[in-house]
Amino acid sequence: MNLFKTTVLAGILLTGVLVPTQGYAQTTTPSSDQKTTIFDYKKELKLTDEQEQKIRQLLLDLSKKLQIEQAKLTLANAEIEELLKKEAELEKIKEAVNREAAIRATITYIDLATGRQINAVLTPAQLKQWREIQEKARQAQKQPKSAPAR
């Protein structure tokens, strides 16, 4: 990796480490009165302190991995833009696009794997209830927002 890419990657990673990330497991777009993460349903799900701690650690690990992959994705996109500007050979562009797609696939996989790990922390009853909560939230998102009354 050349010096420029290394410097950019280091900068992105440092910025990502210093900037707090939003909570994972969001079911809806947050607002002040909406519940958005599994932790907002701690009482309903009867999560133990140990379960909460395990889930928080999984999400922290996810956040770190995603920051790294997002940095790689930023570099891959910059590379594609550079190749396009230079009107590089199509084969080189194809290789860069494939690298970018592989990074996106990795991000999706990491997210799915973490979701499965979180599900494994829950009891069967908690998992059933959590899936019901998520489905209700998805349905609520699909509902059109009503216009304000005049």
Half-sphere exposure of 100 (CA within 13 A, CB side): 15
Q: What is the pLDDT of residues 40-72, one digit of tens each?
A: 999 999 999 999 999 999 999 999 999 999 999
Give the Cβ contact number of residue 23 at 10 Å: 15
Query: What pLDDT score was predicted for residue 2?
Result: 56
**How many residues are recorded in the chain?**
150
From the list 45, 43, 11, the residue with the least C-alpha distance to 121 is 45
Cβ(37)–Cβ(25) below 8 Å: yes
Tell me the C-alpha to C-alpha distance, in Å, between residue 126 and each of 49, 121, 123, 149: 14, 9, 5, 38
pLDDT tier at 142 (50, 70, 90 boundaries)?
A: confident
| Number of other CB atoms surrounding residue 98 within 10 Å | 11
Joined together, the tokens standing for residue 127 give 């998992």
For residues 15 and 49, what is the distance between their CA atoms, to the nearest angstrom?
Answer: 31
- According to the model, what pLDDT value does residue 36 have? 80
pLDDT digits (tens, 9 = 90+) for 66-104: 999 999 999 999 999 999 999 999 999 999 999 999 999
